[in-house]
Amino acid sequence: MTDEPKGPSTAPEGAGAEEDEAARARREALEKAQAAKAAAEAAKPPWERDAATPEWSDAAGDPLVAALAEEHPGALEQARRFAGDLVLDLSLDGLRAVVTSLKEHHDYTLLVDICGADYPEREPRFDVVYHLRRVADAAVVRLHVKTDEATEVPSLTPVFRGANWPEREVYDMFGVHFADHPDMTRILMWEGFNGHPLRKDFPVEGVDTGSAIYPEFYEKGEGPVEKAGTGWLVKEEEGDG
Amino acid sequence: MIDEPKITTEPDRLFSSEEEEMELNFGPQHPSTHGVLRLKLRVDGERVVECYPIIGYLHRGTEKLFELHPFFQNVPHTDRMDYVAAATNNLAYVGAVEKLVGLTVPPRARYIRTILSELQRISSHLVWLATHAIDIGAMTPFFYCFREREMILDLFEQYCGARLTLNCMRPGGQPYDLPVGWVDRCREFVALFPGRVDEYEELLTENRIWKRRTVGVGVLPPEVALDYGVTGPMLRASGVAMDLRKDAPYEAYDEVDFEIAVRENGDTYDRYLVRVEEMRQANRIVAQCLDRLPEGPIMAKRPRVLKAPQNSEAYFAIEGPKGELGFYLVGDGTPQPWRCHVRPPSFMNLQSLPELAEGHLIADLVALIGTTDIVLGEVDR
């Protein structure tokens, strides 16, 4: 509200100064009201206030981040914090070294979880997200690596045996491949399923039950047909006989 | 006293055949797999040489569905994952949403949530004990456990109208206050329950058959447990005292007094003892929460349509009845989550089953599936 409105018609100078005075008075009153409102808001218990939206902050000063940056220069691309969670963005090459170091030197001995996320607008489109937990104080660190369909992510199975199933799930749901994984097969969908369901371009209603997922049964673009009058889907339409 | 029966304790001579190994399919339609778990076994006589779990028979694409619905409407989806412990699923999800958007829950709602999730823990452990005992061959604990579980389900029904798929929490607080008389009915249960746990223990804890079937079966050393990402009672039975209710308290857990049940041996018997002790501790927590239940609002100030901040993400985990149950949410500024990943404890715990089972008899495998306490709805999602 500090800028004077610049209309095409210029008012006399005296009148402008007067308006300025009035505007300042208005602004001061407004600021006063806002301050009073903020004070009233702050006096309320937190659950009656507006949601305190968390924001990203830089976490380069964190002792863990400093130690990791020293041990593995180049692996750590960014360290940030959101809603209390420490998030480290890693390069693909540095992933296994950083996880090994977290496990062996920083007591993050529990691999909580591995999951994927798809950002089709972005290049490369996939995130693989790791959560590690320190048993002594339950602190969690989250690791992000970026990858695409063609780039293999180093598997963590040599470091944590528990990485086996979550990595298979990421492969199943997103089609991200893991290098050196002992058993890179689908886990929740069946072998032979065509597609990766959690990709954003996979339709929520699923693909039809025909050639898209049973390529060995149906010709391309074909699928089961409805048996006349029954609503059942059968492989081929049969005659009345 | 009857003398110990004189049988050979060299199982190799008893159960192993000189012939070649055989492949055996165990499940998915088998009552002792607690749902639709399929195990591909390679057996040498009665002995399991290799065990390869095959899962996914109950996969319903829940994580995809989460991306479709607004934050408020996703709570019922969580009920259907671990369907014997819906309240804790609700809690983990709403906790993650609250962390993502920065909502603070009023104290009364925090206490109600704590009460509900501890009752849920008891009821989940009761289902586990009942089915585990029946797997091993003890019929009576099933009836005893389901008798008390019925009382808990009645309490849930009086609170929210549902018995299994509770849908009893919302981001920001609780949908309903406790109905008139509920606290008293809950107190009745709390007063009665420790005696009932004594009854189960009378049936099982010193029972010679029970001990023969469980002591030393499926030993999970602590470092192996951590290596596999095993959490919850299974980890604590191996001697690692990790419990998120103590280590990273949420809701009202930092205001109540309870102990973490820990055992050292990491076998099936110790996992039984840990869970029984957890039921007692959960009962203590409920009693304390009922005594200290604060007055006041049950819902935080929240917008009608909850939008996650642009480019936001949060991971929130609770100590579910089966282990660490976490939700990883990614927000993109719309009312729906861009990505919602569940960290199911059963999934990670089941992963250690081959490690537990190999070398044991097929009959023990049934006990081991029971002791991992899996719910396939959560494994497959």
Domain that holds residue A219: 202-232
The residue with tokens 């989806």 is: B77
Q: What is the gyration radius of the CA atoms in chain B, in angstroms?
A: 21
How many separate helices (H) and strands (E) can be counted in chain B? Answer: 16, 6
| Whether residue A69 sits in one domain with residue A170 | yes
Q: Is residue A88 part of a domain?
A: yes
Output the six-digit token pair for B237. Answer: 């039975």
| Whether residue A216 sits in one domain with residue A124 | no
Strand partners, B326: B317, B343
Cα gap B257→A206, rounded to integer Å: 49
Flag whether pLDDT at A1 surpasses 50.
Answer: no
CB-based contact A85:A113 (threshold 8 Å): no
What is the model's pLDDT at position B281? Answer: 93
Residue contact A87–B226, C-beta within 8 A: no
Q: Is residue A155 part of a domain?
A: yes
What is the model's pLDDT at position A39? Answer: 86
| Whether residue A94 sits in one domain with residue A206 | no
A152-171 tens-digit pLDDT:
899 999 999 989 999 999 99
Cα gap B355→B51, rounded to integer Å: 8
A52 pLDDT band, cuts 50/70/90, is confident
CB count within 10 Å of CB B242 equals 23
| Whether residue A214 sits in one domain with residue A171 | no
Cα gap A95→A169, rounded to integer Å: 19
The residue with tokens 């999934």 is: B347
Rounded to an integer, the average pLDDT of A89-98 is 89
What is the model's pLDDT at position B30? Answer: 77
Output the six-digit token pair for B214. Answer: 């469980």
CB-based contact B272:B310 (threshold 8 Å): no
What is the model's pLDDT at position A241? Answer: 41
What is the model's pLDDT at position B13? Answer: 53
What is the model's pLDDT at position B150? Answer: 93
Q: Please give the DSSP secondary-structure letter assigned to residue B336.
A: S
- Chain B stretch 139-178, residues whose beta carbon is closer than 8 A to a beta carbon of chain A: 172-173
What is the model's pLDDT at position A47? Answer: 81
Rounded to an integer, the average pLDDT of A43-68 is 83
CB-based contact B350:B323 (threshold 8 Å): no
Residue of A nearest to B344 (CA): A113
Q: Is residue A69 part of a domain?
A: yes
* A179 three-class SS: strand
| Whether residue A175 sits in one domain with residue A211 | no
Cα gap B378→B381, rounded to integer Å: 5
- Chain B stretch 19-78, residues whose beta carbon is closer than 8 A to a beta carbon of chain A: 55-56, 59, 61, 63-65, 67-68
* B62 three-class SS: helix
Minimal CA separation from A76 to chain B, in Å: 19
Residue B317 near chain A (CB below 8 Å): yes
| Whether residue A174 sits in one domain with residue A62 | yes
Cα gap A165→A145, rounded to integer Å: 18
| Whether residue A160 sits in one domain with residue A227 | no
Q: Is residue A11 part of a domain?
A: no
A196-235 tens-digit pLDDT:
888 888 877 666 556 666 667 777 666 666 666 666 666 6
* B372 three-class SS: helix
Residue of B nearest to A186 (CA): B56
> Using CB atoms, which residue from B61, B231, B297 is nearest to A47?
B297
Peptide bond preceding B303 in cis form (omega within 30 of 0): no
What is the model's pLDDT at position A231? Answer: 60
A95-152 tens-digit pLDDT:
989 999 999 888 899 999 999 999 988 888 899 999 999 988 888 999 999 998 888 8
The whole-number mean pLDDT for each consecutive block of 10 residues of chain B, a chain of 381 residues, reads 54 58 82 81 86 89 90 90 91 92 91 93 93 88 91 92 90 90 93 92 88 88 91 91 89 89 90 92 93 90 86 91 92 90 92 88 87 89 84
Task: Look at chain A and report how many structural domains it folds into.
Answer: 2
Residue B231 near chain A (CB below 8 Å): yes
CB count within 10 Å of CB A18 equals 12
Q: How many CA atoms lie within 13 A of B36 on its CB side?
A: 11
What is the model's pLDDT at position A55? Answer: 84
Helix A63-71 vs helix A95-105: crossing angle, to nearest 10: 120
Cα gap B155→B162, rounded to integer Å: 10
| Whether residue A166 sits in one domain with residue A210 | no
What is the model's pLDDT at position A238? Answer: 54
Residue B93 near chain A (CB below 8 Å): no
- Which of A41, A57, A110 is the best residue to mutate to test the B interface, defined by the most B CB atoms within 10 Å of its own CB? A110
The residue with tokens 């032979």 is: A192
Q: Is residue A160 part of a domain?
A: yes
Cα gap A164→A185, rounded to integer Å: 10
Closest CA to B95 of B115, B78, B70, B120: B78
Closest CA to B330 of B310, B309, B305, B312: B312
According to DSSP H, which parts of A59-201 are helical? 63-71, 95-105, 164-174
Long-range contacts of A162-166 (CB under 8 A, 24+ apart): A162/A111, A162/B227, A162/B228, A162/B229, A162/B230, A162/B348, A162/B351, A162/B352, A163/A111, A163/A114, A164/B351, A165/B347, A165/B348, A165/B351, A166/A111, A166/A113, A166/A114, A166/A115, A166/B347, A166/B348
Looking at domain B66-380, its CATH class is: mainly alpha
Q: Is residue A67 part of a domain?
A: yes
Residue contact A142–B100, C-beta within 8 A: no
Residue contact A110–B229, C-beta within 8 A: yes
CB count within 10 Å of CB B141 equals 22
Can you give the pTM of this predicted structure? 0.84
Q: What is the CATH number of the domain that holds A127?
A: 3.30.460.80
> Using CB atoms, which residue from B64, B315, B343 is nearest to A198?
B64
Beta strands in B252-361 (DSSP E): 312-320, 323-331, 337-343
- Which of B236, B332, B339 is the best residue to mutate to test the A interface, defined by the most A CB atoms within 10 Å of its own CB? B339
CB-based contact B261:B278 (threshold 8 Å): yes
Residue B341 near chain A (CB below 8 Å): yes
Domain boundaries, chain B: 66-380
| Whether residue A164 sits in one domain with residue A64 | yes
What is the model's pLDDT at position B329? Answer: 92
Minimal CA separation from B121 to chain A, in Å: 21
C-alpha dihedral sign at B60, B229, B350, B279 = negative
Q: Is residue A19 part of a domain?
A: no
